[in-house]
Structure 1
């Protein structure tokens, strides 16, 4: 099994979370990959795909949205998947992670975790204190849910 953490990042916060998640996936071949470098054909049944995006206009970024649209043909059948986003802590906000999770499921993926938000200070960050550790813990829980 291999794990790919695919992300788009405007200010580096989402990239930092993606790298923390990939780094916490001990015992599997894991890497974080910018959305423009992701090659869907490298995924196989049983692999783990984690997709992350900052919230952009109440939804994932256009690059992540385009990727998800291209994967919506059932090409993710048998792939385990999870989604996250980075956001500002506000009373009202978008939910990119939930939209990503729904799109991954529509593409045939098996969703193994609830969508996860990670919080930034202000619109450009940096990440709030403790968010990297939260990302590492979430990554380890993803493996646990897969029996690893």
Structure 2
């Protein structure tokens, strides 16, 4: 199965989660910043995982622009999953659900419910065990082909 993890990251925490998900998906998974990735690189049946930190109750601006640029039908036949990183004490938005809605508007099929990973503060670090949890999620996504 072809798979890609596309992310936006502000302080590196979301990048670390994206890389962990990629490891869980397997050695062929590509992990890229959104600006470096085009959905045209995917075929039907591919898996696309997209993530962002929550910034102002929504995805990071650069990833938001990438999502806004997705054309209707550009993800037809592509399975997708969304995640975000957030501070555990405050639920200040839900980037993962906004990402999921944008992916589905582009024609994607949901491979898993949106999920989130926790950081200690705005700049991190990630809470203990989040990297391992992200790798396990990647493995479960790979198993659901």
Specify the TM-score bucket, using the shorter chain as the normaliser.
over 0.9
2-structure distance, mates of 1:50, 1:20: 12
2-structure distance, mates of 1:92, 1:17: 19
Segments of 5+ residues of structure 1 without an aligned counterpart are none
TM-score computed with the length of structure 1 as normaliser? 0.94
Could you list the per-position Cα deviations for residues 93-143 of structure 1 after superposition, in whole angstroms to 9, with x for gaps in the alignment?
A: 210001101111111001110101000011100100000000001111111
Query: Residues 1-148 of structure 1 correspond to what in structure 2 (within 5 A)?
Result: 1-26=1-26, 29-146=28-145
Q: Is the CA contact 1:23–1:31 (under 8 Å) kept in the aligned structure 2?
A: no
- Count the aligned residue pairs: 145
Aligned-pair distance for 1:68? 1.1
Q: Is the CA contact 1:18–1:52 (under 8 Å) kept in the aligned structure 2?
A: yes
Segments of 5+ residues of structure 2 without an aligned counterpart are none
Aligned residue for 1:141, secondary structure, equals helix
Higher relative contact order (CA 8 A, sep 6+): 2
What is the Cα-based RMSD across aligned positions, in Å? 1.1
Q: Is the CA contact 1:21–1:139 (under 8 Å) kept in the aligned structure 2?
A: yes
Q: Is the CA contact 2:24–2:142 (under 8 Å) kept in the aligned structure 1?
A: no
Q: Is the CA contact 1:54–1:61 (under 8 Å) kept in the aligned structure 2?
A: yes
Aligned residue for 2:58, secondary structure, equals coil
